[in-house]
Amino acid sequence: MPYDITSTTNERIKRLIRLRDRKQRDADEVFVVEGPRLVGRAIETGLEPLEIYVDDSTPELEIFDALVVEPAVLSRASYRKKSEGVIAVFEQFPLTLDRIDTGGTPLILAAESIEKPGNLGAMLRTADASGANGFVAVGEVTDVFNPNAIRASTGALFTVPVAICSLVDFGLWLSEHSIRLVAAIPDSQNSLWNSDMTGASALMVGTEEKGLSESAIEMSDSLVTIPMSGSSDSLNTSVSLALLAFEAVRQRSKGHH
């Protein structure tokens, strides 16, 4: 099969490399997805690629007018320096709170100031697996469209409604929809297992280094602690959120606290 692109100096390849940078992605309002599995998941959820680049290993994606790129050149464009055979560019979707369905008895997962893409991806997988109504990243530092976050989410970014907002806006939105905020801190008298999460709830964690901000703690309706033994001072923040989420799922499945 003839190659449409054979050089790393090609303008499109140079742009793909620039899109590794958040500023460039946000300026162009696009994000990049790599690998047949993730690109397939994005398309399955109804996202349409603006551009799609393949090497000879993924002929089935040619239906999207894919450009065929020499494998070494495609690898150069990959943020992991080793292409999985396809790189697609999609338009960024809105990350607003109104994307999240608050009907019935919603379960919302939230995290403050999450910078590590691996943690963000893991939290999105938890939101997907626990059947949460949505995930809220509180604070502007979170880069939802980071390629490592997308990869770590294994496609949950495309199935879970995600929003980014300030703490103040999150608080107003929770009040407006009568959703209780349950926040995890290291030293509450209230154990996670004794807190009622059967009603409309948002469960929030902070960063591993600093925990939740004072403002977030003050805003919470309930503060809970995950009981721990052992010498380690804290769980990974995405693990903490998973424990909260599945305790809420457990309580709700019983129909009582």
Would you say the pTM of this structure is higher than 0.85?
yes
If you average pLDDT over residues 51-72, what whole number do you get?
Answer: 82
Mean pLDDT, the chain, whole residue set: 92
DSSP string for residues in 27-46: HHTEEEEESHHHHHHHHHTT
Span of 23-27, 58-62, 86-90 with lowest mean pLDDT: 58-62
Question: What CATH number belongs to 97-254?
Answer: 3.40.1280.10
Residue extent(s) of CATH 3.30.1330.30 domains in the chain: 11-91
Span of 57-71, 79-93, 120-134 with lowest mean pLDDT: 57-71
The reported pLDDT for the residue numbered 245 is: 97
Q: What is the largest CA-CA distance in the chain?
A: 67
Rounded CA separation 144/202 (Å): 19
**For the chain, give me the number of helices (H) and strands (E)?**
10, 10
CB-based burial, 108-147: b 16+ in 10 Å, e otherwise: bbbbbbbebbebbbbbbbbbbebebbbbbbbbeebbbbbb
Question: What CATH number belongs to 11-91?
Answer: 3.30.1330.30
* 90-135 per-position pLDDT tens digit: 999 999 999 999 999 999 999 999 999 999 999 999 999 999 999 9
Residue extent(s) of CATH 3.40.1280.10 domains in the chain: 97-254
> Is residue 204 a contact partner of residue 184, using CB atoms and an 8 Å limit?
yes
> Angle 117-130/237-254 helices, nearest 10 degrees?
10
Q: Is the pLDDT of residue 184 over 80?
A: yes
Q: Is the pLDDT of residue 243 over 60?
A: yes
The reported pLDDT for the residue numbered 257 is: 47
Rounded CA separation 108/205 (Å): 12
> Is residue 168 a contact partner of residue 140, using CB atoms and an 8 Å limit?
no
User: What tokens appear for 180 in the block?
Assistant: 């209780």
Q: Which one, of 142, 83, 90, 138, lies nearest residue 117 by Cα? A: 142
The reported pLDDT for the residue numbered 61 is: 59
Rounded CA separation 7/14 (Å): 10
